[in-house]
Amino acid sequence: QSVVTQPPSASGTPGQRVTISCSGSTLNIGGNLVYWYQQFPGTAPKLLIFRNDQRPSGVPDRFSGSKSGTSASLAISGLRSEDEADYYCASWDDRQGGLVVFGGGTKLTVL
């Protein structure tokens, strides 16, 4: 059981806007920065959002991140078939000397 919670699945149709939530506590999301990753089957994760809402160069502006209190969200607008992937949130956690915590991951299906 992860200390950071994501819905196991999400879905949308092409062109739609989809959001994926990430819920934590004051020890992690509430007091630290949130990162988001995209992972396709058989490949390494790729950084999608860093520092809550920043996009690395090359990531389309269809992807956006936000944080409020102990929760964060990843929004994907203008959904495309190639967005079908697993999405993970992550944050530093201040317990036990510190650790990185990942959400359990959300499988996004484009219908």
- Summarize as ranges the residues that interact with another protein (CB under 8 A): 2, 32-33, 35, 37, 39, 43-47, 50, 56, 88, 90-92, 96-105
In the bound state with another protein, the residue whose beta carbon lies nearer, of 43 and 81, is 43
In the bound state with another protein, the residue whose beta carbon lies nearer, of 77 and 107, is 107
Cβ–Cβ contacts within 10 Å for residue 39, how many?
15
Q: Which candidate, 72, 105, 66, 81, places its Cα nearest to that of 16?
A: 81
Q: What is the C-alpha separation between 67 and 72, in angstroms, rounded?
A: 4
To another protein, the closest distance from the beta carbon of 1 in angstroms equals 11
